[in-house]
Structures are given as structure tokens and as C-alpha cells.
Amino acid sequence: MFNFLRLIAIFIIFSLLISCANENKDNLLLDAEGGISDSPDNNIDDEIEIVDNTAQQIEMEEVELTVEEKLSSELIEVGDRVFFGYDESTISAESAETLNKQYQFLSRNPGISITVEGHCDERGTREYNLALGERRASAVKNYLVSLGVESSRITVISYGKEKPTVEGHNDWAWTQNRTAITFINN
């Protein structure tokens, strides 16, 4: 019986402590540094303003990109890849449009250099696809050079079928893998 009374007494004391701690919680405001301010001239509008400023600051930090990230994002927007037909390395009309946009991008950013990666689908031998990927990447380079981009700004590499951009063993995957992709060099 004594233990039971002691347990009830502890429960009552604990309940009083909790209720006292929560009694003025609604009147507390945070100051600009995040500390508790008990100044009587604070009002709820000040608290909302602080929350809004903090939210804006977080958004600004998340939006900040490096110059390389901004340029890469812009290149993706203008089109960073062109596609080829089966066993082809000629530039189609659609690919020419994309490469014209890449040329404009490179003209606006004369200080950057690029690498063009040639890719193939999984059909064909390793050696054949490496050569075909090289022809595709070189076709892109030659087109950009014909528009006026300095040859020294463009490097080509072939991955053949070794680095597919899309996994799969169907027409859609093969179409996506017959490509030349442009990357900005760091």
C-alpha cells in the first residue's frame, strides 16, 4: 500500500511539473537568433516574419549552383545528345537542329571545351561498335567545327556498346543507345 501511495504522489508531482512548464508556452516567441524572447512588445506577426525570412534563406542556398552546374544545365536544355539510325553515323535534320543550338551555346561560352561520347546499341561486335561510336562522335565534332567551333575545344571518345545510356534489349533501348552525348570538360 505504501508503494502505491508513493507512486501516486510521484505521478501528481510529475503532472504538476509538466503543466507548469506548458503554462506560458503560447506566449513565447523566438528572437532573430532563434532564442526565446519574452519581451512584451513582441507579437505573432514578428514570429511569422522570422519564419518567412528563414524559409527564403534556405531556398536561396538550395538554388545556388556552381558555374559548371549552370553550364551543364544550359547544355542539357539546348540538347546534349543527338541520335543516329541503325548502323549510321550521318547527322540527321533533327540532329542538325540540336547541334546548331550547341554551336550557339559554345559561341556564348568560348572558354569551355567539350567531349563528345559516341555510343552504340548492344548489337554487333565490340570492335565494330567502338569504331561506329568513334564515327558518330567525330561526325558531331566535324559538324560543330564546320559551324565555326575551334577543333581544339572538342575531344571525342567512343564507348561503343560498353556504356549503354539505357539498359534493355528492345527497339526503344537500342534507339536510345545509338547516340552521341556532349559533356562539358572540367
Dist. CA 102–CA 98, nearest whole Å: 6
Q: Is the pLDDT of residue 88 over 90?
A: yes
In this predicted structure, what is the pLDDT of residue 12?
73
Domain 67-184: give its CATH superfamily: OmpA-like domain (3.30.1330.60)
The gap from C-alpha 41 to its chain's centroid, in whole angstroms, comes to 45
Dist. CA 60–CA 64, nearest whole Å: 6
Grid coordinates of 136: 558518330
Dist. CA 91–CA 84, nearest whole Å: 7
Q: Is the pLDDT of residue 159 over 50?
A: yes
In this predicted structure, what is the pLDDT of residue 41?
52
> pLDDT tens for residues 54-77?
555 545 455 667 888 888 888 889
Q: Could you give the angle at the alpha carbon of 117 between the alpha carbons of 114 and 121, nearest 5°?
A: 160
Name the pLDDT band for 114 (thresholds 50, 70, 90).
very high
Q: pTM of the full predicted structure?
A: 0.65
Average pLDDT, the chain: 81
Name the residue ranges covered by the structural domains of the chain: 2-63, 67-184
Name the pLDDT band for 35 (thresholds 50, 70, 90).
low
Crossing angle between the packed helical segments 67-78 and 93-108, to the nearest 10 degrees: 150
Q: Is the pLDDT of residue 28 over 60?
A: no
Dist. CA 137–CA 180, nearest whole Å: 6
